[in-house]
């Protein structure tokens, strides 16, 4: 079904590694969403496991836009990686828009699974099937090729008393 002809439960599905960005970047982004009347899926209260629960899959599928906030430990979470695979399924099947933010991580490191990002990703892949690892690599390469915002380009103004 074309994305323009359906109704969406959420305007935005944010995909992120909580310990890296929940109380910093994401808290500010969520406040802006609320301020601007943007309905974003809120993952608080969802029980974490190795598999994405049906509630989370439903939220991804019912979102018009997914914003993937890539951080240095995003690849350390099979939960995040499985979300990412599902996001790209929705992009292909429902025309979901995917936007990226590279938060304190080099897009090249995500694309090629190298550096600190690559190290934690490789640890996550240990003991996983070749099929699962291939899906994650494909999704990471794809997401890193989407032009997005990179935190090193943000201007931060600091006032000293």
39: DSSP letter: -
Q: CA-to-CA distance for 10 and 132, rounded, in angstroms?
A: 28
CB 24, CB 77: distance < 8 Å: no
Q: CA-to-CA distance for 12 and 111, rounded, in angstroms?
A: 23
Task: Provide the annotated active-site residues.
Answer: 83
Phi then psi for 84, rounded to 5 degrees?
Answer: -60, -45
Burial code (b: 16+ CB inside 10 Å, e: under 16) for 21-47 equals beeebbeebbeebeeeeeebbebeeee
Phi then psi for 118, rounded to 5 degrees?
Answer: -65, -40
């Amino acid at each position: 079904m074309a994305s323009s002809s359906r109704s969406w439960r959420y305007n935005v599905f944010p995909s992120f590694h909580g310990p890296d960005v929940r109380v910093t970047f994401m808290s500010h982004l969520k406040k802006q969403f609320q301020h601007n009347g943007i309905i974003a899926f809120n993952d608080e209260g969802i029980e974490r496991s190795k598999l994405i629960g049906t509630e989370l899959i439903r939220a991804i599928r019912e979102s018009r836009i997914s914003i993937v906030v890539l951080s240095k430990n995003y690849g350390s979470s099979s939960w995040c990686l499985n979300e990412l695979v599902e996001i790209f399924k929705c992009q292909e099947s429902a025309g979901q828009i995917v936007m990226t933010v590279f938060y304190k991580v080099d897009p090249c490191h995500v694309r090629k699974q190298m550096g600190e990002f690559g190290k934690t990703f490789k640890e996550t892949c240990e003991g996983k099937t070749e099929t699962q690892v291939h899906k994650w690599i494909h999704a990471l390469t794809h997401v890193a090729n989407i032009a997005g915002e990179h935190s090193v380009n943000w201007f931060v103004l600091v006032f000293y008393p």
